[in-house]
Structures are given as C-alpha cells and as structure tokens.
A and B are shown apart, each in its own frame.
Chain A
C-alpha cells in the first residue's frame, strides 16, 4: 500500500448502535397518534385543528425561547416539544378559545419541562401539567363540551374559538352537550359502547376514539417503542377495581367498558403514563406505577369531585416515580438482594 494511512479515529466500542434514537422514538409516538387525531378533526371540525395548532405553537415557541441558540435546532428537532403540544391539544375541548390553548402549550413546556432543566429532568408529564393549569384557571371553558358535529359543519367555527383573551366569553352556542363521563357521574346515564369506542361522542378532541388510540398503541408495540407493562397494569387494575365496585352496587358504579374506553383513559394510559422521563425505569417499577394509576383513576372517578381521574392519577404517580425507582432496583447478577 503506497497510499497514505487513513487518519484513524479512536471511537471506543461498541461501534454498533440499535437503530433507535430519541427523535425516532418521538416520531413513532407522533405517528401512532395520527389516526385518533384525524378522527378528532373529522368529528369536531376546523376549531379542533386550530386548538391543536395553538398548543403546538405555544409549546414549540416556549422551547425555542428557553433553549440556548446553538442547541435550538436539536432541541426542537427531537420532537419532544411537538409531542407535548400535540398531547395537550388532544385533551382539550374542541371549542376552547385559541389563546387559552396557546397559553396551555406555553405552561406545559415552561412549567412542565424547562424549569426542571429540560428534556429528561422533569418530574411531571409536561402535557398534563399544561392541562392541569388550564383546568384550574379556566374551569368553565375547559368543561364546556360540544356534540361531535361531524363533517357537515366542518368549517363552522365555534364562536368561542376566536374569543379574545380575558374578555367575557360569548354566549354558548346551544350545541353544548354533556360528556359521557359527566352524564354518568352526575346523571347516571350510561353511553352506548359504540360511540365511546369510535369517537362520535362529545368530549376532548383527541380522546373520544378509544379504538383508534388503541390501534396507535399496537403500532408502538410492534415498533417495540411502548412500555406495554404500564397500560396493561392500568387496565387490569382499573378493571378489577371497577368490577369489585360493580358487584357491590351496580346501580351506582359504572361498568367495566366504561372505565376502559371512556374519557382520556386510552390517551392517558397508552401515551401519557408511558412517557419514559416521568415513569419508572425498572420493569417492576412499571407494574407498580401502572397499578397505582389504575386504582387512583377509579377512586377519583367514583369518589372524588371530578369526573375525570386519569390525568390526576398520572400526576400523583409521577411524583412517586423516584421512590418507585429507588425500591425496585433489580437484583444484580450473582448477588443476593441487598
């Protein structure tokens, strides 16, 4: 070889990498959410699209603002802010004033992520932080629901969508309707399982189609991008607990399909509780975490003051995550448990 020797790099082993990185993992979750998102758009029209756009915009703008200049491209490119915005948007009522949705996105990233030190350091799921903020600040707007109008009135904006910040909201447009959860909780009216599953019930814009959210979950499972133990533990524990209550007093407590297919259960269990940053790292921890959420959901729904339990259940278990991690360290190979 007369050729000059190559300039050798000394990158230390292993040189092989699994073809999975943070951006691809985020992209997988984004893709998985698409069917349910488009169903939401279909049922709730242009207003829904604008609400999601507003939360995403708020989240990404905040990420951009708080990231040092050189790191902006990478931080926005990893897709985590986009995902936070999207998840938040999907939990909101379709006719929420846009400025509120935008503010929710800002708070989700600002208070949910940035002040903790950015990606990987936050204790609570940012999207849920954003939603909790909105629910506390704008309780009326956040609980005003509309019937799923379907494609006929796709371009018809709800008057509240374009409401100006801090103005008196315009009068409700007469299309508002109680959600299945509200019906159940306050009036003890059951909803048909079909509408719960496919999304033409009234509710948050991305949460109403349990089946499509599940399809996305299956996709993640196939891509090996889902900590399946968490949703499984949630469904099993919530299901069993509900069954128990139902046997005690079937008139008062809702049935099992209700627990699993309704509200944000699917979205929360499959997409929010499994956020790696805010859930335990150990497999055993994942089981504990999921069971905790399942039990809390049923408790909050049936005995608490709110119709919706999953988001608060996740927040509570987020707080317990460091503790769960500490106590579920696996037994090291060849050592007895210490």
Chain B
C-alpha cells in the first residue's frame, strides 16, 4: 500500500464522491451588486468574539474597522460597505441561536470604494509586526473552519517551519471557489505564497492541488515558469476525499504523519488555504482587510449557479436572488461543502469569513433512505482517513456510552463524513460521532492512558 500510494501522491483510505464541479468550474468570479443590509456577527470562528468599536448610528466607510480582536485567538472585523451602523444587537446565526452582531445599512449613493492605505512593505515587517498586521486585517483560514491565520503564524520558541503548504485541494464536491482563484489570479496566489514563505522562514513551499483541476495547475505553472528561482513547487494530488484535510494533505505531499494531538507546525509544516494566501497578498498590495470572499453558489436547488465575490455579511437571501432564486425542489441549504458544511436555518443568515459555498439541495439528496442495522461490512473503516473504527464509535454513541468512545480515540475524528458516505446501512455515523464529541466536551473525562 505504502509504495503504491507514494506514486499516487495521496493518503490511505478515503472515499470518492462524484465531483459535481462541472456546473461552476468554468464560470468566472462575478461581483454581486451591493444590497442594503449587511450582518456581521462578532464571533465568526472559535476563540474570543471581536469587540465592537462603533456605535449605533455611526457612519462607516467600506473597509473601516468596526470591531477589534477580543483576545489573541480572535480577529478584527471591518465594514463590508460604506453605510450606517443601524443595530448592534443579537441576531440569528447559522445554527439558529442569537449572537451579538453589528448590522450595517449600505449607503445607496456611495461609490463603495475601499479607502485604505497599504501597510508597511511586508519585507520590512518583523514577524511580530506581520502577525499583528494579519490579525488586524481580520484574516482567517478561508477553507471553512475560519481559524485565525495569525495564530498559525505564531511559532513557539524552539520550533521552526521548514515547509509552507498551500491547500488548493478543494476536495469538497460542488465547490469551485478556490479553483477559480487559482485560475483567475495565479500571480496573486504565488505572490501570497512567497510573502508567507519568507515571513515564516520556510525553505520551500508546495501548492497541493487535486488533479481534477488541470486548468488551475496550468495557470500556476505558467506563473512559476516566469520566475524559476522561486522555491515553490506544485504538487498534483489524487482526487480523493478528504484530500484537503490538513493532516491528509501533509501526508500526501510530504509522506509525513502529524502525530495525534499535535499540530502541523510541530513537524515543521504550516498549511494555508489558497483563499487565505490571496487575502494576504491583497492586504500587502492594497491594504484591503478581509471584507469579501469568493462563494460558490450551486447545487440541484439552484438554476443559475455561480462563483461570486461577495461582501461579508451579505444575507444568503440576497445571494440566492442574484442567482435567480431557489427552484421549487429545494429542501435544504448548506453553508460550506456537502460533506462537512452546515445546514442553515433561515435565508437571513449572512455570509461569514468561512463560507466557501451556498449549496441548495432537493428532496433527492436529503431523503434518508431506510436505516438498516450495521452489517459489519467494514466499509466505514476503509473510508476513515484516520483509521478509526467508525462503526464502533457510532454504536457506542447511540447507546450513550460516550466515555468508552475515548478508548477508540473519538477526539481524533475530524468529522469529514467519509464514513457516513460509505455506509450501505445509511447509518448517520459522523452525526453520531459528533454527538459523542459534543457530549465529551461538555462533560470531560480523563483520557484513558
């Protein structure tokens, strides 16, 4: 196995869902027109929520700071439009709960220019200043989890980054936002990669891309041919889910296993998403903080799929109406990808920093066929990239024997959903494991030695 997979540039196990990228992979990124209401929750990722620095009624310019970081694991927020703060109050979020949020009404007569000054040239910044700049620009991992990027760049004393790995795998079906960035802005991707590589002191950089994106690979190759001295290598990867999971990607590119409970930086690797790398390049080119992102709107519930450049805070409703609205078959809307995304409770929730896609699904995908008992076929074991025993974990979780799931390393699960995908008995394995993890987080137990 080991020998074979080293030729294939991949990790072991995993699954092969259909890609469904054809609908949008050739559609250029389009800018959506400005709407009127923008909703910016103060907490958009794990860590401390940001702290509002504007007041109700205050006029704000596009790109102006509206909330400062609330701690180290926290990032700033900036206004996505020129307009007026109309509310700072709890608003409905993704999961249906209410969270403190800044609501901004766009000024319909504004030209909506970003008026910022670029920060000092990146070459001159010390690593501490660089980290501070990235944090103040609100930049996070754009792949989905939206983990604050600057935290990843803070290398503890003694540790050292040798390799920068840019994640362009985009292994989630339907999503093409990273693909379009690589095709349309390859120079920016390379520029951002080089900035990060130098600032982190990495010797080399690799860009990992699944082979089903030949156009992106060609575009980046062309840029690299022009500057052959850059120590940046493209790494085409097998098309397999979850190729884009951080530790799987490292395994595929470097053939190194990140020990459980450790971070990539512990083995000298820093992983950054393509979108993040572009955001960093833009920050140092124009001074623009993170106020917009590329979102793929697609799925069988959408008649006019698109890749859109969307101001953060745009309600999903506005995005959908720009894409011709939902068709009658729509039964569910997922924010993110179909394997790991979250169902949204209402069309009024906004696009967040981590929203890579808005996907509308119909009865066909949401209908859960009858659930059969586990037939112990082992397909979930062969799917799990972490070599866990999902059938066992699901069974223990269903019987509420959460503590015992610790013996089977439940916390190592990244909730990629490959096991549920593969299960012929239609058991919602990933969902059951998520339940066990949530329960264990609320009532922690000592991990068995």
Which residues on A are within 8 Å of B, measured CB to CB?
Answer: 1, 3, 5-18, 20-22, 24-25, 74, 78, 118-121, 227, 276-277, 279-283, 286, 329-335
Interface check B369, CB cutoff 8 A: yes
Neighbouring B residues of A280 by C-beta, 8 Å: 378
Judge whether B343 and A9 touch: CB under 8 Å. Answer: yes
Ranked nearest first, the 10 interchain pairs of A and B with the lowest CB-CB distance are A14-B417, A120-B373, A281-B378, A276-B377, A334-B260, A330-B387, A333-B386, A14-B339, A22-B372, A9-B332
Contact status B340-A13, CB under 8 Å: yes
**Which residues on the B side are within 8 Å of A14 (C-beta)?**
338-340, 417-418, 420-421, 430
Q: Which of B373, B412, B430 contacts A118 (CB 8 A)?
A: B373
- The number of chain B residues touching the other chain, given as a range, is 35 or more
Interface residue B150 (Cβ < 8 Å from any Cβ of A): no
B378 touches A330 (CB 8 A): no
The answer to whether B412 touches A333, judged by C-beta atoms less than 8 angstroms apart, is: yes
Determine whether the beta carbon of B345 is less than 8 Å from that of A10: yes
Q: A13-B339, A22-B372, A286-B378 given; name 11 further pairs at CB < 8 Å.
A: A1-B326, A11-B368, A15-B338, A16-B17, A18-B15, A78-B372, A120-B374, A330-B387, A333-B387, A333-B412, A335-B259
B121 at the interface (CB under 8 A from A): no
- In the complex, the answer to whether B332 meets A1 with C-beta atoms within 8 Å is no
Beta-carbon contact of B344 and A8 below 8 Å: yes
The reply to whether A10 and B373 contact each other, CB–CB distance below 8 Å, is no
Binary CB contact string for chain B from 325 to 354 against chain A (1 if under 8 A, 0 otherwise): 110001111101111111111110000000
**Is the beta-carbon distance between A74 and B378 smaller than 8 angstroms?**
no
When distances are taken between beta carbons in the complex, the residues of chain A under 8 Å from B258 are 334
Q: Closest approach, in angstroms, between the C-beta of A27 and any C-beta of chain B?
A: 12
Contact of A1 among B261, B325, B366 (CB under 8 A): B325
Residue on B nearest A118 in the bound complex, by CB: B373
Q: Are A9 and B426 in contact (CB under 8 A)?
A: no
Q: Are the CB atoms of A333 and B257 closer together than 8 Å?
A: yes
Does any Cβ of A come within 8 Å of B317's Cβ?
yes
Cα(A286)–Cα(B381), bound, Å: 13
Asked, given contacts A22-B424, A119-B373, whether A11 binds B247 with beta carbons under 8 Å apart, the answer is: no
358-393 of chain B: CB within 8 A of chain A: 361, 365-366, 368-370, 372-379, 381-382, 385-389, 391
**Which residue of the partner chain, among A5, A13, A334, contacts B259 with CB atoms under 8 Å?**
A334
B431 touches A (CB below 8 Å): yes
Chain B residue contacts of A120, Cβ below 8 A: 372-376, 425
Interfacial chain A residues near B387, Cβ < 8 Å = 330-333
Q: Which residues of A contact B385 (CB under 8 A)?
A: 333
Q: Bound complex: CA of A276 vs CA of B376, how far in Å?
A: 6
